[in-house]
């Protein structure tokens, strides 16, 4: 009888202990998942910036290459922005030219929440080339049409419905690196022309 | 309940809890293992098998540790592929000393092997890799809308050096479709076509051959071999989704074949022929995939996904070459997203 009672106590205790462990483990996994989800956008943004930086560093003068960017899920709208020594820029760029990925296009957003990589020799230009046909009308009649090209400072990384993958073109000439992407007018989303910042 | 009954209930509970805790710990250990920075083929294969073995909701916990392989075809080792600057890539020299036909066959061989590797790596399309639910799926389900956006894994990219790109005499002779039909997979007794179709097909349907003489293909200097999978709840849903094609990115046209003389095969649309492959379904097949205005050869599997111990939903998997320069096609084919590292 005694051993039977001991068995019951052991069983109940073990059950309770295991239940507690299970709850704790599941609790920590849940916390970890929430943490991971909250930070995955920032991590993906940094990975994207590092990939682009590696390409730039491998690029020689007069070479052109491409890089594909996969859209990632993030509550923030990340943009690739270049800041050179001759312009008003985030303090974190110090005395170097820098390429940043920021959850916005302003100096403040890069300074406070962005991630930057520095370039000593190269000047960097990250722009979106918006190309569309401009049609002028007079009295309802089409009088002329012209292709307008508007360079916009910065490149949107994870916006654009249906754009799972984007191709950026990287060109290096006389230590000036141009990172460009072409967009149609429909893809335009609150971007600021170069000189507008 | 008497004491004996209570003890039995307690024992069942104990076993259940031990099983759950054990599973969680094993899953955690696997996650840690997979999270290492190893992106080799073996690591990729392991992560695919692991993901396919866990229940749907847990799939999201298992990252696919796959990196797109990059192959640069050159005629001389001094050449390179500009798109791979700064990225690890494998150069393969296409010898031009054996004649144009031999060079073309070498290119076909590399393309066929890339397609086979992708097919093999992803469990011949039979493993469910993307059935884990995300918030958008959840919302869609509330409205009774079936999710049909395919998700992709880019297995490999095969690019041509500038010099090889200019060798039109060689490229004109490349015929991947014919190579797949006639060549035996290394280490096997079956042809690529036979292997992709689960022994069902030894030659391309006659209706398809007619398109070969009327081909209007496009050339590209880079091909990606893409695994694309669409997961749905039931057979009717995926058949409906496939037939709609244009909205899902997976419009399958009957048999297949790449036109002679093109690196990436693209032939006229044959939208209805698929039905025979698909309706017979639940098996491997081969088909065309709609890529914008073009079609390309694809190894397909449509039906119930399986793991070693369970069924894991239904859907369609494709392994197909895609013109890497045509991002519109990629964005459609992979409308649900791309996993893995480029």
Residue A19: pLDDT band by 50, 70, 90 thresholds?
Answer: confident
3 state SS of B289: strand
Contact B10 A11 (CB under 8 A): yes
Residue B153: pLDDT band by 50, 70, 90 thresholds?
Answer: very high
Q: Nearest chain B Cα to A57, which residue?
A: B86
- Return the pLDDT at A52: 92
Reply yes or no on whether the pLDDT at B69 is more than 90: yes
DSSP sequence for A135-161: EEEETTEEEEEEEEEEEEESEESS-ST
- Return the pLDDT at B71: 94
B293 or B233: whose pLDDT is higher? B233
CA distance B6 to chain A (A): 10
Residue B278: pLDDT band by 50, 70, 90 thresholds?
Answer: very low
ipTM of the complex: 0.72
Reply yes or no on whether the pLDDT at A138 is more than 70: yes
- Return the pLDDT at A197: 34
Pairing of strands A141-153, A123-138: antiparallel
Worst-scoring range by mean pLDDT, A8-17, A24-33, A128-137?
Answer: A8-17
Pairing of strands B338-339, B151-160: parallel
- Tokens for B269? 């649309």
DSSP sequence for A96-107: SEEEEEESSSSH
Over residues B182-198, the pLDDT tens digits come to 899 998 888 888 787 76
Angle at B85 between CA A61 and CA B170, to 5 degrees: 110
Interface of A with B in 59-88 (CB under 8 A): 59, 63-66, 68, 70-71
In angstroms, rounded to a whole number, what is the distance separating the alpha carbons of residues B322 and B226? 7
- What are the beta bridge partners of residue B226? B154, B320
3 state SS of A129: strand
Worst-scoring range by mean pLDDT, B91-95, B241-245, B329-333?
Answer: B241-245
> What's the alpha-carbon Rg for chain A, to the nearest Å?
26
CB B14 within 8 A of CB A18: yes
Contact A12 B10 (CB under 8 A): yes
Q: Nearest chain B Cα to A7, which residue?
A: B7
- Tokens for A46? 């940094």
Percentages of chain A per state (helix, strand, coil), in multiples of 5: 35, 35, 25
- H or E element, residue A46: helix A2-58
- Return the pLDDT at B193: 80
Reply yes or no on whether the pLDDT at B70 is more than 90: yes
- Which of B82, B85, B87, B228 is best to mutate for the A interface (most A CBs within 10 A)? B85
Reply yes or no on whether the pLDDT at A165 is more than 50: yes
What phi and psi values does residue B278 have, to the nearest 5 degrees? -75, -45
In angstroms, rounded to a whole number, what is the distance separating the alpha carbons of residues B8 and A28? 31
In angstroms, rounded to a whole number, what is the distance separating the alpha carbons of residues B101 and B174? 8
Partners of B7 on chain A (C-beta within 8 Å) are 7-8, 11
CB B178 within 8 A of CB B262: no
Over residues A83-103, the pLDDT tens digits come to 988 888 899 988 889 999 999
Contact B25 A63 (CB under 8 A): no
Query: Mean pLDDT of all residues in chain B?
Result: 69
Q: Which residues neighbour A89 within 8 Å (Cβ) at sequence distance 6 or greater?
A: A83, A98, A107, A110
Contact A164 B330 (CB under 8 A): yes
Q: Give the residue numbers in B contacting A (CB under 8 Å), as ranges.
A: 3, 7, 10-11, 13-14, 17-18, 20-21, 24-25, 28, 61, 82-87, 327, 330-332, 334-335, 337-338, 342
- Tokens for B174? 């490349």
A179 or B167: whose pLDDT is higher? A179
In angstroms, rounded to a whole number, what is the distance separating the alpha carbons of residues B7 and B34? 40
3-state secondary structure B222-251: EEEEEEEEEEECCHHHHHHHHHHHHHCCCC
In angstroms, rounded to a whole number, what is the distance separating the alpha carbons of residues A170 and A153? 15
Contact B83 A70 (CB under 8 A): no
Nearest to B298 by CA among B283, B282, B319, B277: B319
- Residues B133-142 have a mean pLDDT of 43
CB A109 within 8 A of CB A122: no
CB B341 within 8 A of CB B39: yes
Q: Nearest chain B Cα to A36, which residue?
A: B61
Q: Which residues neighbour B54 within 8 Å (Cβ) at sequence distance 6 or greater?
A: B27, B61, B62
In angstroms, rounded to a whole number, what is the distance separating the alpha carbons of residues A92 and A90? 5
CB B320 within 8 A of CB B285: no
- Return the pLDDT at B65: 86
In angstroms, rounded to a whole number, what is the distance separating the alpha carbons of residues A34 and A23? 16
Nearest to B185 by CA among B299, B92, B318: B299
3 state SS of B342: coil
DSSP 8-state class, residue A60: P
- Return the pLDDT at A30: 74
DSSP 8-state class, residue B341: B
DSSP 8-state class, residue B80: -
In angstroms, rounded to a whole number, what is the distance separating the alpha carbons of residues B296 and B320? 7
A48: left (phi over 0), alpha (psi -120 to 50) or beta: alpha
3 state SS of B202: coil
CA distance B82 to chain A (A): 6
CA distance B3 to chain A (A): 9
């Amino acid at each position: 009888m005694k051993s039977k009672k001991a068995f019951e106590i052991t069983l109940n205790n073990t059950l309770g202990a295991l239940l507690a462990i299970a709850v704790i483990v599941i609790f920590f996994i849940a916390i970890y998942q929430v943490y991971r989800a909250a930070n995955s956008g920032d991590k993906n943004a940094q990975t994207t910036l590092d990939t682009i930086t590696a390409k730039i560093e491998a690029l020689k003068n007069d070479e052109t290459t491409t890089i594909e960017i996969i859209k990632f899920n993030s509550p923030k709208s990340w943009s690739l922005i270049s800041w050179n020594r001759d312009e008003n820029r985030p303090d974190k760029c110090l005395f170097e030219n820098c390429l940043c990925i920021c959850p916005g296009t302003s100096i403040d957003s890069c300074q406070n929440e962005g991630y930057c990589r520095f370039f000593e020799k190269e000047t960097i230009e990250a722009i979106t080339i918006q190309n569309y046909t401009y049609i002028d009308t007079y009295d309802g009649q089409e009088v002329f049409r012209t292709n307008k090209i508007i360079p916009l400072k910065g490149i949107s990384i994870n916006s654009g419905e249906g754009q799972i993958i984007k191709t950026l073109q990287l060109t290096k000439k006389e230590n000036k690196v141009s990172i460009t992407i072409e967009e149609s007018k429909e893809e335009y989303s609150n971007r600021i022309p170069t000189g507008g910042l | 309940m008497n004491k004996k009954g209570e003890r039995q209930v307690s024992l069942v509970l104990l076993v259940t809890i031990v099983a759950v805790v054990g599973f969680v710990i094993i899953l955690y250990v696997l996650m840690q293992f997979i999270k290492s920075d190893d992106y080799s083929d073996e690591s990729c294969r392991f992560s695919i098998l692991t993901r396919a073995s866990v229940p749907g909701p847990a799939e999201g916990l298992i990252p696919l540790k796959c990196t797109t392989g990059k192959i640069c075809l050159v005629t001389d080792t001094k050449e390179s592929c500009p798109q791979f600057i700064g990225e690890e890539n494998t150069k393969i020299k296409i010898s031009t000393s054996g004649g144009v036909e031999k060079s073309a066959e070498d290119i076909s061989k590399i393309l066929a092997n890339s397609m086979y590797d992708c097919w093999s790596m992803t469990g011949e399309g039979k493993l469910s890799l993307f059935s884990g639910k995300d918030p958008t799926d959840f919302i869609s389900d509330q409205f009774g809308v079936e999710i049909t956006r395919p998700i992709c894994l880019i297995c490999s990219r095969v690019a041509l050096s500038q010099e090889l790109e200019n060798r039109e005499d060689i490229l004109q002779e490349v015929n991947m479709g014919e190579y797949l039909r006639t060549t035996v997979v290394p280490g096997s007794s079956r042809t690529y076509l036979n292997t992709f179709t689960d022994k069902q097909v030894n030659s391309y349907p006659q209706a398809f051959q007619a398109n070969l003489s009327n081909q209007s293909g496009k050339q590209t200097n880079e091909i990606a071999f893409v695994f694309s999978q669409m997961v749905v709840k039931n057979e009717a849903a995926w058949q409906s989704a496939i037939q709609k094609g244009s909205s899902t990115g997976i419009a399958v046209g009957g048999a297949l074949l790449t036109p002679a003389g093109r690196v990436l095969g693209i032939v006229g649309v044959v939208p209805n022929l698929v039905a025979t492959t698909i309706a017979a379904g639940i098996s491997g097949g081969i088909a065309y995939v709609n890529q914008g205005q073009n079609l390309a050869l694809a190894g397909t599997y449509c039906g119930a996904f399986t793991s070693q111990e369970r069924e894991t939903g239904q859907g369609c998997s494709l392994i197909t070459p895609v013109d890497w320069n045509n991002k519109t096609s990629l964005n459609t084919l992979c409308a649900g997203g791309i996993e893995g590292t480029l």
